[in-house]
Structure 1
């Protein structure tokens, strides 16, 4: 191939659009001695693949021979225990009475409602008192900065 063809192939290669045949041509071309000086910088890129392809691993990989069967039994027991607990708790909660404290006597219902609203009023008033401090702070800040 001529120089423009190599340039086009290199552009396609770096864009990831080359075919296997074109990549093989580039690899062979850059392994030869007749590479143009402007393309010398690409020689290590394609030479790297040839060097790495020739490396053979000498690492020994050990495979585990057998797992402990008790581990599988323990895992299964834990899974069944979790499923059983989940089912038991969900069904026992569903069977609880849904009586929310209804009263047959209107006077008693009125008294209980007054107690609940008084308790709520105490907590709401506490929040309102806290807001008074914020209002005092805001007015003081406006006086100082204005």
Structure 2
């Protein structure tokens, strides 16, 4: 395993730009999915749609469940990005929140909002599966 170094100012600007771009895209997606979710809720509440007897597609209940799940995932990702931006602001970005060691540029390029080094992420994933 090679030694990871702390990020420099140019690196931090690069990752902040990536995170802000991702956050912008998420805000757009959240707006769209929110509108779709509102439409499904309105259709369910209006009583005009036959929720259980449409042989051609999913029920409104299934669609609402799917869309609300996507919405929750997008909100969680948005929160993770906000936390990464806060770490940039407070000077702790790029350091593993568990061990305090540098995360590594390659991991941050793949997952700019990563809060854990790859070793800690793998350990936690293994614990979840056990």
The TM-score bracket by the shorter chain reads under 0.3
TM-score by length of 2: 0.26
Which structure's relative contact order is higher, taking Cα pairs within 8 Å and 6+ residues apart?
2
| Structure holding more helix per residue | 1
Larger radius of gyration: 1
